[in-house]
Structures are given as C-alpha cells and as structure tokens.
Amino acid sequence: MSKQRVYEIAKDLNVSSKDVINKLKDYDVEIKNHMSTLEEKDINILLDIYTQKHDESKNSKPIDADTVKIEQENNTEKIVKVAAPSHKKEKHYDTRPTVVEIDKYDNEKIEKLVPDKVNDEKPTKHKIKKTAGKIKGKKEKTEKPPEKPVAKKPPKLMKVQIPDEITVAEMAEKIKKPAAEIIKKLMSLGVMAAVNQNIDYDTASLVAEDFGIKVEKEIIVTQEEILFNDMEDNPASLKSRSPVVVVMGHVDHGKTSLLDAIRQTDVIATEAGGITQHIGAYRVKINDKKITFLDTPGHEAFTAMRARGAQVTDIAILVVAADDGIMPQTVEAINHAKAAKVNIIVAINKMDKEGANPERVKQELTEHDLVPEEWGGDTICVPVSALQREGIDHLLEMVLLVAEMQELKANPERLAKGTVVEAELDKGRGAVATVLVQKGTLKTGDVIVAGTAVGRIRAMINDKGVKVESAGPAVPVEILGLSEVPEAGDVFYAVKDERMARVVVEKRKDKIKEEQFNAHHKVSLEDLFEHIKQGEMKELNIIIKADVQGSAEAVKQSLEKLSNEDVRIKTIHTGVGAIAESDIMLATASNAIIIGFNVRPNPGASSSAAQHEVDVRLYRVIYNAIEEMEAAMKGLLDPTFKEVILGHAQVRATFKVSNVGTIAGCYVTDGKITRNSDVRIVRDGVVIHEGKLDSLKRFKDDAKEVASGYECGIGIERFNDIKEGDVIESFTMEEVKA
C-alpha cells in the first residue's frame, strides 16, 4: 500500500482529520498535522478501528465470549480478560475481588501477628496547651471542665464599596468621617490631595482600613455593557461556521484574476458596466461547504480594519507569481498577515507562463519564515493558474482543510455582532454598509449600532444582489437604514433597546471629541524607558525603511541585538524606498516606531504620522540610530534639539552659472524656503545630500524667504548635482526647552 496523507485517509473514511489524529494518538502513533504521511501499519490500525466500529454497531452482544471468560471457583466469580489484538495497547485489568478466608488462620497464628505490648487498656488522651511559647502535655482529664461564659458578639464591621477612583469628599460621605481626617491620613501615607481631588482604589482602601472599615470594589456597569451582549457563548450553543478568507499579494501577481476564477465571474467587466451588485464580500460553495471571501482593495484596508480592533479573517491566501517570485508588496502582505496572526496559504499563480519556477518561490518564502509543508514546514503551497482555471478546486479544498483544523464555530441563536467591511453614502439609498456577521443572526428590522451610527435595518441584500430577511455567522450582507456612514472596521451590535442605543451613540460622539483634545499617547523613544520601568513594555515593534535592502538589513540586525531581559526589539517590517502611508497604518495597528535610514516620508505619510502620533525617526548614520535606541532603553535619552520642517520646493529647471555653480529653478510647493536654512535634496524619496542653502533669489534680487506658490532660484553650498524633479526640503533645528 502506498503512503497516504492524513486528510486523504480521513476523506476516504468520511471522518474529520482531527478525529483520525486523535484515534492514532490513542495507539501511541504521533502525527504532526493533517498533511503528515501515514505508514502502512498506521493505515492498518485505522482500518481495524473503523471496521471494528462498524462490526460492533451490527453486533448486539454486550460481551464477546472470546475476549471475556467467567470462572467459578469456591463459589467466587472471577472475570479474566484475554489480551486484545496485537495492534491495540495491551492493557490488563484484574477484576477479581480481594477475599481473605479467615478460617485458614487459627488463633495461634493471629496472636503471633499482633505485637506483645498491645493490651486492652484504653490509650491515654493528651491535651496540648500553649503556654509562654512552650507546648505542654496535660494528664488525662478526670473532671468535667467548667462551662465557658458566653462571649459578647464583636461589633459588625462597616463595609463600603469604592470605585476605581473617588474624590476625598465622596469618600468622607461614604465612610461617615470628616474630610479633614481623611486628608491627615493621606498625608501620613505621603499623598497630598485636596477635598475635590481624586484618589485611586488602593489608596482609598488603605485609608478606610485605618478607620477599621472594610472596603469592597464597586463594579460600575456602563450603558454599553448593559446594551451589548459581549458574554462568551455556552460551548453547547456553538455550531460550525464558514471560514472567512482574504486574498493578498503583489499588484501584478493575479489577485483579481484568482478572485474571478474563484467566483466564476468576470469582476472587471461587470464592475465597468455596473450590472452586478458588488458588496466587497461574497460566498462560494465547494464540496457542500461554503467559504466567505473579503474582496478588500489591498493589505492597507486589511490593516486599517485591524487597527480599529476588528479581527475579521481566519485565513489569508497569499498570491505569488511563479515567474516573478517574492516582491516588495508580497513582503508587506506577509508581514500584515503575520501581525494579524492568521493562517497563510500560498497560491503560486501563473503556472501556465514560461519561466514559471515554483521551487524558487518556495525557496524565497523560507527567507520570510514560511516553510512549505513539502520541506518539513507548515505552510501549504498550491500551484494554480487563474487564467486556465487550474488548481482552483485544490486551493479551496486546502482552505476547507485548514478551516477544519481550526474548528471555527459561532452561536447563531443570539443577537448579531460583526464588523463593517466597507461603507458609503449612496445618493438614492442613503448610508449603505457592507457588514460581516460574526456571531448570532442579523434580521431585517433589527436595531443596530456601528461606531457612531445607529438605525433600524430597512433592507438586507446578499452578495448575489438578492434581498434576504436574515444572515447568520460568516455571512456578508449589505444593509440600509443607518443614520450615518460608519467606518470600515467598526464593530456593530444588534440591540433590543433603540432609545438606549441612541444615548450610547451620543456618548460615543462626546468621547471622540474629548479624545481629540487628549489624544492617546503612542509609544516613542522619549518615554520608552518609563514604559520599561513600569513593566508595561515587554516588546518594542519597529518598522525599518531604507534606501537599499542592504542598509535595511544592517539596521535591523544592529537594533535587534540591543534586546535585553526587559524589552525585546522586534522588526515587524523592512522595506526599501520612501516612508509611505501604509507604513504609518501598520505602525498604528502594531504600536510601532518607524526608523528611516537615508529616506524621507511622503507628504501624506507625514500628516498621517502626526495625526496618529506615530514616532518616525530619520537617520543618515547607522551608529546614531543604535546610540539613540540604547540611550532610550537605559533612560538616558534627553533630546535637546528637534527638527522643524519649513517647506518644500520642487526643482523644475537647472542653470549652470560660471564661478557660481548649478542654480535650481524651483517652485515652492508648501511652507516657505528661508535663506541660510539647512536643506536636504530628496530624489525619489531618498536623501542624496544634506547641507546649507547658499543663495535664494526672486528673479535677480536676493530674498530672505520665498513663500508657497512662488518661484525662486536656489543655490546649494558645495553641491551641484541637482536634477529636475528633485525636492529641496528646507528645515531648521530648534532647541527643546526642558
């Protein structure tokens, strides 16, 4: 018999792969996963198990006469088990009762077994008394002790409930003590607090205990907790659900073609004509099972959803062209999928093209910690041709196989909860949102809350453009009836109380306004040591962008070597070229610091970094990056200067002037360019020179500064290699006050 994989045997026996693995474990056969190959003896064991199970179902006899024998000896029944077949574990159980026949022993023998010193006297009782730290033995008690006087019950301790934070005045009212006394107690503990100031629970409990008052933590249930049912479902109520899959990869590697092949429709043609209903998610059926696909524009949208706390997908299909191999966007997709902790299945596409080399693709995957199963790893690689529709069924079978191992379940019998996949404002229909139900069942007429949007569902449309009345777990639908357009990644809840839902939404809007004033503080090098000291920071995520791959690798290795027992530096992405908005989004989702080496951020990336408070550090010397990181980890970082960008000018023409050098004819795109400021020349996002501005002219006159929207002539000190298209960035270094 040839070697077969676990999932193939499971398919033949009409059982799950997990069931097969568990059965073999009972017989001391260790199986790694569903793709492992089975030896002939292992297959025989399985056949014996399942054929025997089939025979037993037909045989109604409770005990097999060949395996169990009942003997009668001296009026005592004994059950003797015969050994099991050779392929089973040979366990023997002696079920004979332990019977002592006392008639065999006469009185003389019994007396010899009993010690000589044992007599009929009762043992002496001893009472242990504790006196002045010593334990004394008392003689046997002969008199009845006098009855103890009935003690008075101690006064009942006062109990109060205190929340996480409480003002001194509120506490005084709770424990019925003057505020002045509480302030004195706080001062003795080294806490200076006025009557209207807040103190935390721990401090308040210490003060209360000093007054002989017992404190319990007050659990405050918010309106959101009352409104939304976020409790874990009873395991008995869970039922199997479809897997949710996202397809990612490089832009030219056939992601859309693969989605077309899976959906069996031409997305591009129908989208252009606007005939087919497109809702950003759809379901396909294979082997009587369904798979939900999220048709996201790219991994940026995928990360944006994760940044908002939405864990939507179970499996990521990574599309890699067999003739191209791993590309920069492929690496980004890998890092995004890893950060989201989803299973990755690699679809090696374009197998029909000349020069297709799947082995090279597998080799490149190993460089990113994705080892194919054929090479002893756990990454499934499936060769496909989206154009020829080859290998698609096998790819979908592998998706179902991975989903089966994950045992995906949800409770359909509850109020719905899920995630907004995409949303838009339609002129005719109002706010329209595509949602993916993750728990429960969503029904027409349900009141739902999604972010700051609330409304009653007027209509639901499925991925085929058909109106439906309900949608269960892992089902995507388009819904109408929301008050406003929610954001992609917002979690939605179906609720019973519409009035309370509207109150909760108003509170959310107020909270967002408040957060805009007190924005959440992201991790930065300045406060890194403080986080380490407080035990908050165990892992520091960094993203590295450099001018060339070699530099990126060098920076990565140098910084990761700085890891110690307090904090581990983890590089979640490295790339070549300018810092883009996608890098900022990944940093936001992963709370990471961006290290730029000889590169600059795009204008959009700069504003996004400021908005999301992402710490972007730019270096031209690798040792400076290492020194700053070391200093931050030791708590020595004390920045005295910060860089202030004044403006940017684009080079539109160059002129060579004798005895002067090259002058750049520029247009100021934003900010202003000032004379004698520091400047850097940026070409395609990479810094090629940094120096001083030598001359600044408007027409033939010297200018102190040139504002946005005006043209000027710029000369750079000791630099003449200026080209059209270069960007001149003007900046100054300002001292930071302590």
pLDDT tens by residue, 71-91: 444 444 444 444 444 444 464
CATH number at residue 586: 3.40.50.10050
| Residue 736 φ then ψ, to 5° | -90, 125
DSSP state of 268: H
Average pLDDT over residues 647-655: 93
Q: Is 130 helix (H, G, I), strand (E, B) or coil?
A: strand
**Is 551 part of any domain?**
yes
Q: Is 248 or 516 the better-scoring residue by pLDDT? A: 248
| Interacting residues of 303 by C-beta distance below 8 A, sequence separation 6+ | 336, 339, 340, 582, 585, 586, 589
Read off the pLDDT band of 281 (50, 70, 90).
Answer: confident
Q: Express as a percent the part of the chain with pLDDT over 90.
A: 21
Answer yes or no: do 568 and 687 share one domain.
Answer: no
Predicted pLDDT at 728: 94
Extract long-range pairs of 271-277: CB within 8 Å, 24+ residues apart.
Answer: 276/465, 277/461, 277/463, 277/464, 277/465, 277/478
Q: Is 192 helix (H, G, I), strand (E, B) or coil?
A: coil
Maximum CA pair distance of the chain? 134
CATH number at residue 355: 3.40.50.300
**Is 322 part of any domain?**
yes
Predicted pLDDT at 244: 92
**Is 619 part of any domain?**
yes
Dihedral angle computed from the Cα positions of residues 675, 680, 683 and 689, in that order, rounded to the nearest 10 degrees: 120
Predicted pLDDT at 133: 43
Read off the pLDDT band of 734 (50, 70, 90).
Answer: confident
Boundaries of domain holding 600: 528-639
Cα–Cα distance, 458 to 447 (Å, whole number):
10
Answer yes or no: do 256 and 360 share one domain.
Answer: yes
Cα–Cα distance, 213 to 93 (Å, whole number):
60
Q: CA–CA distance from 108 to each of 103, 111, 116, 119, 163 (Å)?
A: 12, 5, 13, 16, 77
Identify the domain boundary among 605, 639, 673.
639
Mean pLDDT is lowest, of 141-145, 247-251, 446-450, for: 141-145
Predicted pLDDT at 649: 94
The one-letter amino acid code at 264 reads Q
Contact 446/457 with Cβ under 8 angstroms?
A: yes
Cα–Cα distance, 9 to 394 (Å, whole number):
16
Q: How far does CA 354 lie from the centroid of its chain?
A: 39
Q: Express as a percent the part of the chain with pLDDT over 70.
A: 77
Answer yes or no: do 390 and 477 share one domain.
Answer: no
Read off the pLDDT band of 594 (50, 70, 90).
Answer: very high
Identify the domain boundary among 585, 604, 639.
639
Q: Is 531 or 369 the better-scoring residue by pLDDT? A: 369
pLDDT in tens, 484-531: 888 888 889 999 888 888 988 888 888 877 765 554 456 666 666 666
Answer yes or no: do 289 and 395 share one domain.
Answer: yes
Predicted pLDDT at 472: 93
Instruction: Say yes or no to pLDDT of 63 above 80.
Output: no
Answer yes or no: do 456 and 600 share one domain.
Answer: no
Four-residue CA torsion sign, 575, 580, 586, 587: positive
**Is 150 part of any domain?**
no
Answer yes or no: do 180 and 94 share one domain.
Answer: no
Mean pLDDT is lowest, of 8-12, 35-39, 278-282, 430-434, for: 278-282
Read off the pLDDT band of 4 (50, 70, 90).
Answer: confident
Predicted pLDDT at 652: 94
| Residue 344 φ then ψ, to 5° | -110, 125
pLDDT in tens, 532-564: 666 655 678 899 998 887 788 888 888 888 887
Average pLDDT over residues 274-292: 73
Instruction: Say yes or no to pLDDT of 151 above 60.
Output: no
Average pLDDT over residues 719-723: 90
Query: What's the per-residue H, E or C state across 279-317?
Result: CCEEEEEECCEEEEEECCCCHHHHHHHHHCCCCCCCEEE
Average pLDDT over residues 150-155: 56
Cα–Cα distance, 451 to 56 (Å, whole number):
57
Answer yes or no: do 400 and 258 share one domain.
Answer: yes
Four-residue CA torsion sign, 127, 130, 131, 137: positive
Average pLDDT over residues 591-607: 89
Answer yes or no: do 535 and 578 share one domain.
Answer: yes
Instruction: Say yes or no to pLDDT of 66 above 80.
Output: no
Average pLDDT over residues 172-199: 86
Average pLDDT taken over every residue of the chain:
79
CATH number at residue 510: 2.40.30.10
Cα–Cα distance, 489 to 482 (Å, whole number):
16
Give this prediction's pTM.
0.52
Instruction: Say yes or no to pLDDT of 138 above 90.
Output: no
Q: Is 355 or 89 the better-scoring residue by pLDDT? A: 355
Predicted pLDDT at 303: 64
| Residue 653 φ then ψ, to 5° | -160, 155
**Is 323 part of any domain?**
yes
- C-alpha closest to that of 645 among 612, 621, 609, 698: 609
Helix or strand holding residue 199 (H, E): strand 198-200
Instruction: Say yes or no to pLDDT of 689 above 70.
Output: yes
Read off the pLDDT band of 338 (50, 70, 90).
Answer: confident
Mean pLDDT is lowest, of 28-37, 91-100, 269-278, 506-515, for: 269-278
Answer yes or no: do 184 and 310 share one domain.
Answer: no
- In 446-536, DSSP assigns E strands to 447-450, 453-461, 467-468, 470-471, 476-482, 491-495
**Is 374 part of any domain?**
yes
Answer yes or no: do 205 and 258 share one domain.
Answer: no
Predicted pLDDT at 131: 43
CATH number at residue 203: 1.10.10
Average pLDDT over residues 273-285: 63
Instruction: Say yes or no to pLDDT of 162 above 80.
Output: yes
Q: Is 607 or 57 the better-scoring residue by pLDDT? A: 607
Predicted pLDDT at 144: 57
Read off the pLDDT band of 442 (50, 70, 90).
Answer: very high
Contact 207/193 with Cβ under 8 angstroms?
A: no
**Is 553 part of any domain?**
yes
Four-residue CA torsion sign, 410, 413, 419, 425: positive
Q: CA–CA distance from 691 to each of 577, 681, 694, 718, 729 (Å)?
A: 21, 9, 9, 8, 11
Q: Is 404 or 231 the better-scoring residue by pLDDT? A: 404
Answer yes or no: do 51 and 168 share one domain.
Answer: no
Answer yes or no: do 389 and 538 share one domain.
Answer: no
Predicted pLDDT at 54: 56
What's the number of domains the chain is made of?
Answer: 6
Read off the pLDDT band of 10 (50, 70, 90).
Answer: confident
**Is 227 part of any domain?**
no
Predicted pLDDT at 255: 81
Q: How far does CA 304 lie from the centroid of its chain?
A: 13
CATH number at residue 78: 1.10.10.2480
| Interacting residues of 550 by C-beta distance below 8 A, sequence separation 6+ | none
